[in-house]
Amino acid sequence: MLDLRFVRENGEKVKESLRKRGTKLDIDHLLELDSKHRQLLQEVEKLRYERNRASNEIGKLKQKGEDAGKLLEQMKAVSQEIHVLDSEVKEVSANIVSLSLLVPNIVDESAPKGKGPQDNIEVRRWGETPAFSFKPLGHIEIGKILGIIDFKVSAKLAGSGFAFYRGYGARLVRALINFMLDLHTEKHGYQEVFPPFLVNRDCMVGTGQLPKLEEDMYRIEKEDFFLVPTAEVPVTNIHRGEIIEGESLPIYYASYTACFRREAGSYGKETKGLVRVHQFDKVELVKFVRPETSNDEIEKLLQDAEEVLKSLGLHYRVVNLCAVDISFAASKCYDIEVWAPGEGEYLEVSSCSNFTDFQARRAGIRYRPKPDAKPEYVHTLNGSGVALPRVIVALLETYQQKDGSVVIPEALRPYMGGMERISP
RNA sequence: GGAGAGGUGGCCGAGCGGUUGAAGGCAGCUGCCUGCUAAGCAGUUGUGGGGGCAACUCCACCCCGGGUUCGAAUCCCGGCCUCUCCGCCA
């Protein structure tokens, strides 16, 4: 959510940002509602003032045992008026809120302009695309040969778009989660948290998934709960409605959760295998920081995520997303894309975003710059550190051997009971 | 799931339908004072919003949402959460 006052005073800037994003929204209408709202407020508040004073007067008269009938009658009418105006105010402000919730964050100036993914700018590459003396297989085949991923079973259990891991495959999932959590907590200074996988509506609005993306979310109708699409949602909401003491910033959290996404509208090749599934595992990094530091913090966050891939020896590239590609709540975003030799393409395994004060304002997350200063909104950031299925794709495809086995990168071996390779 | 209790300011805790933004205590801050570990005295300390260049001023907020009333922290209804007992259960 943007600061309404900011929108009021920087209408052009807001519209410019919307143009860059390719989003059409009637900002002028929002501003009209805003001024109507303020005008109504003035009217009601004046009446309230009048009524407060009169009610006081009535109280005094009654205490003295005097008659207050006349005043009482007058105030009855005033109360009626207030009631009518109140419902108008309520309606207008409800409209303002619902419109405001649909306005995306202002795009950072360093984000490239562009019309689509082709305009994202590659920031750097790490490692090289591995060479093979044979034609590398895709992960689906490898998983089948090794008996570690079974899409027949997952389809039987839940339909298409799910994964079923078995044996060393299941072990690999567990190993990766532990490896990543250890890396971030022991080396990068994050505190590990383990939240519920179901959250209420307020959380989803707080981080910006709702109201816009409700169709993409799994919802438990009876309780109005949502399955978390990412740990970002529960973890960012840890501090919803709080005022954090300045000295405790920055706060870094690392969290494993399963992630649930309906992925409505996906089709074709994308929906095969592990590349796009309804449920996947992810270790997420979330930061709460002072506003003036968020530009540096996103770079550090990105590096923390990159280190996962470096440790695993997987070739990747980092891209700076162009305005059109940046998600609703973010102001700036880097994607990390890992190379999958079997697929022959780069796969997004991490998005590292700066949400500036956008989520903080929605979720009411503030801090005190100094012990007695007025509270201000924090900046929130998060990044995958990283998402598992596509890393598994890259891992299997990168480390596959001619004999059908897959070598386990050294960093992961302690988590695999010292195993060096998975053989058919 | 059944029965009961309760949700008040940073914390503890009072509150009859009428100067209660809210007693009292603790904590914090600011003065004054006292030579001793730190006590005493006085003052002060919430959030959001509107109006004004400003001093300032007004409105709202005692879990949330409705209602009754001239007036609600106080009464009524609905919801959420916490605690205790019982039941069920990994």
Last residue of a domain, one of A65, A100, A135: A100
Same domain, A45 and A150: no
Question: Any idea what the Cα angle at residue A395 is, between residues A394 and A401, rounded to 5°?
Answer: 110
Do the domain assignments include residue A108?
no
* Residue range A110-114: mean pLDDT, rounded: 93
**Using CA atoms, how far apart are residues A322 and A334, in angstroms rounded to an integer?**
9
Same domain, A241 and A208: yes
Same domain, A282 and A390: yes
- How does pLDDT run across A366-419, given as a tens digit for each residue? 888 877 778 889 999 999 999 999 999 999 999 999 999 999 999 999 999 999
Q: Could you please report the per-residue DSSP string of A69-123? A: HHHHHHHHHHHHHHHHHHHHHHHHHHHHHHHHTTPPPPPPTTSPP-SSGGG-EEE
**Using CA atoms, how far apart are residues A26 and A12, in angstroms rounded to an integer?**
12
What is the spatial distance, in angstroms and rounded to an integer, between the CA atom of A82 and the C1' atom of B15? Answer: 28
SS (H, E, C) A207-248: HCCCCCCHHHCCEECCCCEEECCCCHHHHHHHHCCEEEEHHH
pLDDT band at A268 (very low <50, low <70, confident <90, very high): low
Same domain, A392 and A361: yes
pTM: predicted TM-score of the whole model, two decimal places: 0.93
Q: Which two tokens stand for residue A59?
A: 């109280």
Do the domain assignments include residue A74?
yes
Output b/e per residue, A209-227; b: 16+ Cβ within 10 A: bbeebeeebebeeeeebbb
Q: Does the structure show a pLDDT above 80 at A65?
A: no
Last residue of a domain, one of A69, A100, A131: A100
Do the domain assignments include residue A45?
yes
Q: Return the H-helix or E-strand segment holding A351.
A: strand A345-354
Same domain, A237 and A96: no
What residue type is A345 in one-letter code?
A: E
Same domain, A122 and A95: no
- Is this prediction's ipTM beyond 0.90? no
Q: What is the CATH number of the domain that holds A94?
A: 1.10.287.40
Same domain, A124 and A95: no
Same domain, A83 and A213: no
- Bases of chain B below 7 A from a protein C-beta are 18-19, 28-29, 47-51, 58-60, 66, 69-71
Catalytic residue among A362, A366, A390, A397: A390
Same domain, A144 and A263: yes
* Total domains in the fold of chain A: 2
CB of A62 nearer than 7 A to strand B: yes
Same domain, A76 and A200: no
